[in-house]
Chain A
Amino acid sequence: MAVKEKIKSLKYRAHQLSDPKVQLEILSNTSENMVKTFAEKLTDDGLFPLKPVSIEVLQINVGYMCNQVCKHCHVDAGPDRKEIMTRETMLLCLDVLKNPAISTVDLTGGAPEMNPDFRWFVEEIYKLNKHIIVRSNLTIITANKKYNDLPQFFKKNEVEVVSSLPYFAARRTDAQRGEGVFEQSIKGLQMLNEVGYGKADSGLTLNLVHNPSGAFLPDDQNELEKIFKDKLSDGWGITFNSLFAITNLPVSRFLEHLFVREMYDDYLVELVNAYNPIAAASVMCRSMISVSWDGFLYDCDFNQMLKLKVQGKAQDLKSFDEKELLSRNIIVNQHCYGCTAGAGSSCGGTVA
């Protein structure tokens, strides 16, 4: 039976899962299905407490507002979310970015482009000579006239575009991301291709993100990339650079989805069974810091959504202290099993 399209965020619906404490309680109480907690598993591999190795990437979440309301969204983003980073907070980010150790700025949301200061922010970061990644949902490009020139804007600032396209056909993409999203995403991709994105030798990188449209793990990233490349090229003449296969973590709306389908236990067991110590040693939180719209610091975007701030005193942009952050213990919980299943999962795809 077709499930009725959800059009509001958990927060708007005042759903109990919009409370990070409830989510954490669920995650912490799953131990009966697992032989070990994530922390115990790390201990076995000599990785606990999990320590950072660098702060190469500053991933900045500029707001939870989005033009889409995807079913699996760990941010619980949507048009009804009003949390938006101010220019004042962006200035604090720019201060932190003067640190030469940070080479990459990864802008995410929501739809980061919906932040009114987005373009100004990108230009300021560009002046600092940082590699810029924008996690763009593709449909934003055609959502409104004012966004139609985003491909040119990205090109001018040498932005690496990373975009979600869970599948190369409408049914499964729309089931996850909303009716009509596939068609609009194809248009967005074509517009990016037109200015040179994803074309050989253009130097303009367009990477796609595949995440399973359901309670299963992604398959071999390279195999999927081949299929995606063939299908998108044959069907719509679209080219792109790499495909990142990303596992859905049991957080926010994907957690809700698992409960609605009564798949939570099965999915957790699947993640635990697929635990890979090599992936565990390379989880992305070891080389990044995540910043929230209101300027607080987290180990990753998932911990941000669970309101698990970084350990220690340096918990916001104003008190950003590289040394202290590098000596912190990364906060882990059962959702972390999503980063270590199979070939592992990060914002840049598999890690092992």
Chain B
Amino acid sequence: MSKTYYNEEDLGKFGEISEWQPELGKKFFDYYGSVFKPGALSAREKALIALAVSHAVQCPYCIDAYTKDCLTKGSDEEQMMEAIHVAAAIKSGAVLVHGVQMMNKAKKLSM
């Protein structure tokens, strides 16, 4: 079997990070749990945001987890893909907006 840096089973072991630092681990998971509770945003909306961010940070564990969460919470394929496009637009926008900086610098350097 080929070896990879990422293992699907490791997602299920996420909780184990608390073993080597229980206090901070607990604080993190409590916080995480609270963030995803329905509040001003519904749990479904939060799952869609998480899905988009998962793609932006390119975390395969989060992508698996929030794909399932979105399906479970009643989002459809179109909504999920649109959420990813939002992430993609922001990412590409963030690259392109630096083009202005490049232009500024280039103008300064050139005659």
**How many interface residues does chain A have, given as a range?**
10 to 19
**How many residue pairs, one in A and one in B, have C-beta atoms under 8 Å apart?**
32
CB of B77 closer than 8 Å to a CB of A: yes
Q: Is the interface of B mostly helix, strand, loop or mixed?
A: helix
Asked if residues A172 and B42 are in contact (CB atoms below 8 Å), the reply is no
Select from chain B the residue with minimum beta-carbon distance to A214: B71
Asked if residues B43 and A167 are in contact (CB atoms below 8 Å), the reply is no
B residues 6-62 with Cβ under 8 Å of A? 38, 42-44
Asked if residues B74 and A223 are in contact (CB atoms below 8 Å), the reply is yes
Asked if residues A217 and B72 are in contact (CB atoms below 8 Å), the reply is yes
Q: Which residues of A contact B73 (CB under 8 A)?
A: 219, 223-224
Report the separation of the CA atoms of residues A6 and B56 in the bound assembly, to the nearest whole angstrom: 38
Q: State how many residues of chain B have any CB contact under 8 Å with chain A.
A: 11
Shortest beta-carbon distance from B102 to chain A in Å = 42
Q: Which residues of B contact A171 (CB under 8 A)?
A: 76-77
Q: Which residues of A contact B71 (CB under 8 A)?
A: 212, 214, 216
Interface string of A209-225 (1 = CB under 8 A from B): 00010101111100110
Asked if residues B44 and A223 are in contact (CB atoms below 8 Å), the reply is yes
Q: Which residues of B contact A214 (CB under 8 A)?
A: 71
- Of A168, A169, A172, A218, which one neighbours B72 at CB under 8 angstroms? A218
Q: Which residues of B contact A212 (CB under 8 A)?
A: 71-72
Shortest beta-carbon distance from A201 to chain B in Å = 28
Asked if residues B68 and A216 are in contact (CB atoms below 8 Å), the reply is yes
Shortest beta-carbon distance from A71 to chain B in Å = 16
CB of A128 closer than 8 Å to a CB of B: no
CB of A91 closer than 8 Å to a CB of B: no
Select from chain A the residue with minimum beta-carbon distance to B68: A216
Q: Which residues of B contact A172 (CB under 8 A)?
A: 76-77
B residues 73-111 with Cβ under 8 Å of A? 73-74, 76-77
CB of A227 closer than 8 Å to a CB of B: yes
Asked if residues A219 and B74 are in contact (CB atoms below 8 Å), the reply is yes
Select from chain A the residue with minimum beta-carbon distance to B8: A266
Shortest beta-carbon distance from A212 to chain B in Å = 7
Report the separation of the CA atoms of residues A223 and B72 in the bound assembly, to the nearest whole angstrom: 11
Asked if residues A167 and B44 are in contact (CB atoms below 8 Å), the reply is no
Q: Which residues of B contact A167 (CB under 8 A)?
A: 74, 76
Residue among B42, B43, B72 with the highest chain A CB neighbour number at 10 A: B72
Q: Which residues of A contact B68 (CB under 8 A)?
A: 216
Asked if residues A223 and B42 are in contact (CB atoms below 8 Å), the reply is yes
Shortest beta-carbon distance from B75 to chain A in Å = 9
Shortest beta-carbon distance from B13 to chain A in Å = 13
Q: Which residues of B contact A169 (CB under 8 A)?
A: 76
Q: Which residues of B contact A223 (CB under 8 A)?
A: 38, 42-44, 73-74
Shortest beta-carbon distance from B9 to chain A in Å = 10
Report the separation of the CA atoms of residues A218 and B68 in the bound assembly, to the nearest whole angstrom: 11
Interface residues of B (CB under 8 A from A): 38, 42-44, 68, 71-74, 76-77
10 residue pairs A–B, Cβ–Cβ below 8 Å: A167-B76, A169-B76, A171-B76, A216-B71, A223-B38, A223-B42, A223-B43, A223-B44, A224-B73, A227-B44
Q: Kindly list 4 other residue pairs between chains A and B, CB separation below 8 angstroms, not including A212-B71, A223-B38, A223-B42.
A: A171-B76, A171-B77, A218-B72, A227-B74
